Structure 1
Amino acid sequence: MGDDLPGTSSLLSSDVQAPVSGTYEDEDQDEDEILRRAIDLSLRNDDAPVCEPRPESKLENYQYSPLPTTDKTIRLLCIPPADNIADPLVCQMHQVRLIDKPGYAALSYTWGAKVFDHHVICDGRRLAITAHLDAALRRFRTTTWWMLWVDALCIDQDNIPERNYQVSIMKHIYSQALRTFVYLRESCLLDGEVLKLMISLMQLAQNVKELSLAEQETMKPLDVVTSRARDRAIRFLELKNAGFPGAETRTTDLLSAGLPHPQHPAWEAMNSLFSRPWFSRMWIIQEVVLSPDVFIMLGGYEMGWDLVSKSVFVYTKFGLIGVTKSQNVTVLKEFQKSVATVLGTLRLKDDFQCRSLIKLLNSFRHCHSSDPRDKVYALLGLANDQGAHQMVSVDYSKSVDAVYLECAQFLVRNGNGMEMLTIAGIPQKREDTDLILSLPSWVPDWSREEPNFIGKWQNRYQAAGETQIDMELEDGGNGLNAKGIRIDVIDALAPLLGSRDSSPNEIDSWERKVREVAQQSRFFSEERLEGYAKTLGLGLCPKVDDNGHTSVDFDAFWNEGLAYDAEYCGSVVLAACHLKFCVTRQGYMGWVPLSSQPGDFIIVLYGGPMPLTVRGKNGNYVLLGASYLEGFMNGEALKLEDAEPEEFVLE
């Protein structure tokens, strides 16, 4: 099909709308009518004067009236239409109770720089807003009145008690909104091409699914999809299963699967679209998951969240990122964050069990929030842990340290302490922020968007076997006492690789330095490399022969045996950029956190999925982070002859 993407007319579906007119005349008339009735009622409010009585330059600044902290009372903006996009932004503010089921839409957008150099005229007074919000509000002003909930305007951001209460009921605000509109940007020449590409991806996935169903039901595929769509689906499955082989065949592969040429600008435009800051915003998780209906406003189009999420799913899960990889590293990095966010919301909608607070915190650690406290507060509305809202209360008068400590204390009391410890530990110095925290080493710093590398893999291992967690808070909740077993002491460390983009020569040079350290291990042998190779791959080992090991020359093993094992090689390189290879005094090999030093201890706590590296401090210990120690990832520590239970007090 190549450039023969669906025409613009095909965009007019339930998932994609034509340029916005402020209402949907062909569907959901009852919801629009609810909005109109709510606006009609609000216009009869004698306390809301029609704007604007005086020249803008002479208007007084808007003053918020206090909101009650009962009955889930919120403010809504009533925005009238305007003939010209440049006309002053005029609105009215109304107080409503959610219990009265008011009809309204919610607006989601990126705040951008907190420079309040624009304004709206609200109830005859000036109210400062950012340039991003100004553009978003103007997007709504066409031919229809709107009743909107907008966080920056409907919450008095300078009133801490009000802000606390409004954030605590945010889940109800989004759950009751008839729709949530997401404002991304103004019109771009490639918007239509991006939408057509997304539709092609979703249609292709649907054809593949229908083809599979047809085969399962012993029906002829022609009974389900057209011959052309069937052929594309078959070809795409073949290409996917083959990993889209060979750069020289990629163009043909994509075209035969019904997708555009790899040089088609729609691919790069799609990467750029999903690298926009909104997709990695912390607050959108709650907004998307809880809102009954989400529409993305993209230039002159609107598209449903179903189209967004399914096209991203196909784009990533069918291996298309590798085929059309962006040359812009920054765009690709942000795109990958956005993918994690979008796919994460899909899981939350389908699997209620994913909503424990610890899983939410870890799954969306990559998301950004301008206020570090929101890394916790933005997820409370989704958490299904009993007592979470009482024990981790929204309070913006607390410091970031206090919020993170309170959250960690709740996780320990709630039985999630071990899962938390695998992603905690002394962090490395950060140059991307001025934020300085003074947290106990066992409390995760959620402001760090890069998660603990090895802690993400905790589900792979069961280092403490079938033992049960045995820990409790002490020292007023600032310390953590946990029982476990001391395994060994770090004796030698190899250097970091430095970068995932290191050249083959740099990787080879790094590996030789690692090998020098590994030779100190009693388990290292160039005649039998299974243990060393398995350690490098954090449990993954390339199968060189039927016995899982080799007796060939080591250099040949490394240079030839790994050259064709991309999965293994990628795992080694990734680990080498986040961890240090170590050898212990007893001769075991493994990976430990970057801050580790010779003399640090490797322990296993009861109920823990992974070993931990700790450092002695005044009779107690400081947690450095989760570790990998070959031979101790599946309960082996409990079988050591000298294994004696100990109490480790982490501070």
Structure 2
Amino acid sequence: MMKGRPVQDSEPLALASSLYSPLDEELDEIRLVTIAPNQLDGPLLCTLHKLTLEDIREEYSVFKTSVDEAGKPARNITVQWAQTHPMQHRTQLNNPEQPTVSSPSVTSSRFNWGDFAALSYVWGDEQDRRNILLNGTVFSVTTSLEIALRALSAKNEFQDDYKIWIDAICINQNDAIERASQVSKMREIYSGAWSVIAWLGESDKAGDTQKAFHFLRRMASLRPEEQDLARIMTEKPSFIEESFFFALHEMMTRTYWSRLWVIQEVVMGASSTVLRCGANSLEWETFCAGIAVLYNGKNWNLKDHLLRKERVHRNLSDDQGWLTTSLHLVHQDLRLLVRYEGEGGDKLNLRRLLEIASSASCRDVRDKVFALVGMMEPGIAHEVVHNYNFDIPRLFAAVTKAFILHYDNLEPLRQANPWGKQGAPTWAADWTWKGRMRWSRPESDFAGPLVNSLDPDPKPESIYNAHSGIPACYSFLEDNLNILQCDGFLLDEIAGLGAPEYGYFDWSKERLVQCASWRSSYGDQEATASALYKALLGGRTIKGKKVEDRHSALLSLPSTFRAAFSQFKRRGWSWLAGQEGYYFKWQRWRHANDNLMLGTRPLKSYFTDVLPKDAEEVTYMEVYSTACRMVMERRFMLTKNGYLGWAPDNAYESSEMNQARVGDVIAIIHGCSTPLVIRPYGSKFQVVGEAYVEGFMDGEAMDILRHSNCQPKMFDFC
């Protein structure tokens, strides 16, 4: 289950026994590698050493005590130590733009035997292999790793006292017990390393990697007021070349960014991570600062335009836009996590962990969980690691249980649904479900000029308060984690449904489910219109702030980009005018749902395509961005009692059986900040997913419980 491969059947056990004597966990032993100078002919020469992390130099031990080690991240202590002790610096020959390579000197090493780095890399094709000599014994590794080792050898970096940890070599892959123990030790190894080498692969012949690193350094050097890239390219044409955007795109679509294990490795390296691609290198903080510039102002739209332009110039197909998954991974997740790792701070909530797991791949489904253990709160991680040998359904249930117990709430039920393929209980999040979409949450940032991307997101549980703060009351009824029992009450029932999302780019208009008997409980036409725009915005805008009266502007947001563009342009709203490549979210959702009847009137009758004379750009940016966020992963719904809202959607499933349905009921669960759509299942219930009901997201449902015949209920979720 480790990122390293299992030993092939043809490899004799004698090889493992000769190289791998058992590690003593009480002495905190690990194995490390040194690499001999590059040999042009013949296999690369490496040496495997077994060493203890407890063999700390007295000076470093005193230093750790002096900086108050308790409570400080390991990375923070290492960085402080490095800043106050001399290092060895080697300028890279024939490449003056590359930073000098630094390694610990004899006096700055933390251990009596020296110090170590850790390698983060992609294994590559298991069938494409090369031999190295490890302690004089022929040892097979993937070609991808052998190339990385040769590149490191060429710089004479990991010899003598400075060593490197490499999972495929330093772990006895033939020992299942040892492999399992390393899962809980990965965080310690990568966070305790002097640096983490993020090996992206070989340089490309066209030199795009070098251009990309050069581009990122230049963007990172810009002050906030200088970050209008279009203006820079006009005023200083030589500062940024158009081809740089293509080069950056190529680098960010390398396989490295799609492997789940590298996320934990990079984060644990924090500010001490160094990106390496062939002979090119880039410091992590410079890398993140450069990426962040793309998220400012109109730069996001510019990157799409210049990518297409360069593709045409290179005689490539011009219909490919930016593949942004890795950009979002770096900017939304890794950048913030690295900062937390260096400075301290909250770990990822369950939703963010699930999004990251969905954005990357791994060979073993269970690694969706274990590759991210280092991103979890220590108490949760401790419980999860104990479940290493669980089958997948039980593992997913155990992880959700760990989150519930740690925080003593039922917020994890917001991530549950019955649509996962792994057979877990519906109350437990399936880490392989494809329907989670980044940017769809009320706490998510917007790309563009509205927010400072460095501002922290609000906690998801702080945005809504449907349960009025009533604490969770729950129990797990069976040892195999099949049943979760909890308290709450029934609120309503789904009576009509808008169009379900069809993949990321469209909606299935023909699958509207009308409700002829729906009557608005909000009041007259004006009150219903007010409820409609609030519902469509999820009652929240930037950073989870509550909608205001001005956000009724959504009702005059043009339904098509064609109708919008001239109006935006005439008002000088350049950011909105540049949204042609993204306006499809609002445009196609409207097209699919305009004929949903809200009683006697179709939804489209509440809208106009004409902007009012006093329209303010920032308001329309807010409602546009919020609406585009809300239409993802949600399906508009009408309720039996005359309310509007959102049911959970399943965008990558065409079967009607795997969708929210008319007749599904809506419940308030104590300890969960949003309502849930649930489905009767015999005497029990399935969790269908998180719901939004306009008018009941801030505790109003408690009045129904107190002043009506509604009765508290105990739910058994299966």
Same fold (TM over 0.5): yes
Q: Of residues 331, 347, 366 in structure 2, which corresponds to 1:355? A: 347
Q: Is the 8 A contact 2:556 2:609 kept in 1?
A: no
What whole-Å deviation, never above 9, does each CA across 1:484-520 have from its counterpart, x for those lacking one?
Answer: 1210011111222435545xxx89x799x68987965
Structure 2 partner of 1:375: 368
Kindly indicate whether the alpha-carbon contact (under 8 Å) linking 1:524 and 1:531 is maintained by their aligned counterparts in 2. no
Identity of aligned residues (%): 22
Partner of 2:570: none
Check if 1:74 corresponds to 2:30.
Answer: yes
Amino acid at match of 1:81: P
SS in 1 for 2:407: coil
Q: Tell me, in whole angstroms, the C-alpha distance in 2 between the residues paired with 1:113 and 1:417.
A: 43
Contact 2:119-2:197 within 8 A present in 1 as well: yes
Which deviates further from its counterpart, 412-421 or 126-135?
Answer: 412-421
TM-aligned CA deviation for residue 190 of structure 1? 2.4
Matched, 1:442 2:421: no
Secondary structure of the structure 2 residue equivalent to 1:272: helix
Q: Quote the residue 1:463 is aligned against.
A: 466
Task: Tell me, in whole angstroms, the C-alpha distance in 1 between the residues paired with 2:606 and 2:375.
Answer: 52
Unaligned runs of 5+ residues in structure 2 are 1-10, 56-110, 309-319, 444-459, 542-546, 558-600, 650-658
- Kindly indicate whether residue 559 of structure 2 is the aligned counterpart of residue 559 of structure 1: no
Match of 2:43 among 81, 84, 88: 88
Alignment partner of 1:324 is 2:379 = no
- What is residue 137 of structure 2 aligned with on the other side? 125
- Secondary structure in 1 aligned to 2:410? helix
Counterpart contact for 2:29–2:50, Cα < 8 Å: yes
Relative distance call for 1:126 and 1:625 in structure 2 (3 A) is same
Query: What amino acid is the match of 1:481?
Result: Q
- Check whether the contact 1:540–1:568 (CA below 8 A) recurs between aligned residues: no
User: Is 1:97 matched with 2:52?
Assistant: yes
Rounded to whole Å, the distance in 1 between the matches of 2:254 and 2:50 is 33
Give TM-score, length-normalised by structure 2. 0.67
Q: Residue 276 of structure 1 corresponds to which residue in structure 2?
A: 254
Q: Quote the Cα distance in structure 1 between the aligned partners of 2:349 and 2:534.
A: 33
Aligned residue number for residue 475 of structure 1: 478
Residues 199, 423 of structure 1: CA spacing in aligned structure 2 closer, same or farther, 3 A cutoff?
same
Shift of the 524–119 alpha-carbon distance from structure 1 to 2, 3 Å rule, reads farther
* Cα separation, 2, equivalents of 1:307 and 1:633: 42
Alpha-carbon offset, residue 397 of structure 1: 3.5
Partner of 2:186: 170
**Residue type of the alignment partner of 2:184:** S
Is residue 20–residue 172 contact of structure 2 (8 Å, CA) maintained in 1? no
Alignment partner, residue 112 of structure 1: 124
- 1:77 aligned partner, one-letter code: V
1:65 pairs with one of 2, 9, 20: 20
Q: Structure 2: how far apart are the matches of 1:418 and 1:395?
A: 21
**C-alpha spacing 1:597/1:606, structure 2 compared with 1 (3 Å):** same
Aligned residue for 2:216, secondary structure, equals helix
The match for 1:314 is 293
The letter of the residue matching 1:276 is R
1:379 aligned partner, one-letter code: L
- Matches of 1:422 and 1:415, distance apart in 2: 14
> How far 1:447 moved relative to its partner?
2.8
Which of 679, 702, 712 is residue 645 of structure 1 equivalent to?
712
Match of 2:200 in 1: 184
Matched, 1:301 2:280: yes
> Superposition pairs for residues 184-583 of structure 1, below 5 Å?
184-188=200-204, 189-205=207-223, 208=224, 233=225, 236=227, 251-252=230-231, 254-256=233-235, 264-291=242-269, 293-325=272-304, 326-327=307-308, 328-329=320-321, 331-349=323-341, 352-355=344-347, 358=350, 361-362=353-354, 364-365=356-357, 366-386=359-379, 388-393=380-385, 396-427=388-419, 436-448=421-433, 450-451=435-436, 457=443, 458=460, 459-476=462-479, 477-498=481-502, 501-502=505-506, 520-523=519-522, 527=526, 529-539=529-539, 555=605, 557-561=607-611, 565-583=620-638
* Aligned amino acid, residue 410 of structure 1: A
Counterparts of 1:518 and 1:544 in 2: how far apart (Å)? 29
The answer as to whether partners of 2:677 and 2:687 remain within 8 angstroms in 1 is yes
**8 Å contact from structure 2 (residues 220, 286) kept in 1:** yes
Alpha-carbon spacing, 1:374–1:601, altered in 2? closer, same or farther (3 Å) = same
- Describe how 1:1-40 pairs up with structure 2 within 5 A: none
Q: Residues 527 and 412 of structure 1: is their aligned pair in 2 closer, same or farther, counting only changes over 3 Å? A: closer
Contact kept in structure 1, 2:230 and 2:302, CA below 8 Å: no
Equivalent residue for 1:149?
165
SS of 1:483 mapped into structure 2: strand
**Contact 2:151–2:279, Cα closer than 8 Å, also in 1:** no
2:222 aligned partner, one-letter code: L
Residue 139 (structure 1) shift: 0.7
Deviation at 1:648, TM superposition (A): 1.1
> In the alignment, is the contact (CA less than 8 A) between 1:356 and 1:385 conserved in 2?
no
Name the SS for the 1:445 alignment partner: coil
1:549–1:353 Cα change, 3 Å = closer
Once structures 1 and 2 are overlaid, which stretch shifts more, 107-116 or 464-473? 107-116
Cα root mean square deviation, aligned: 3.6
Deviations 1:590-646 (A, max 9, x none): 110132111111011112211100001121110010011111111111011324321
Structure 1 range deviating more: 517-526 or 349-358: 517-526
Does the residue aligned with 2:673 lie in a helix, a strand or coil? coil
Indicate if the aligned counterparts of 1:490 and 1:600 stay in contact, CA closer than 8 A.
yes
- Please tell me the residue identity of whatever aligns with 1:89: L
Which segments of 5 or more consecutive residues in structure 1 lack a partner in the other structure?
1-56, 209-232, 240-249, 429-435
Whole-angstrom CA distance in 2 between matches of 1:81 and 1:65: 24
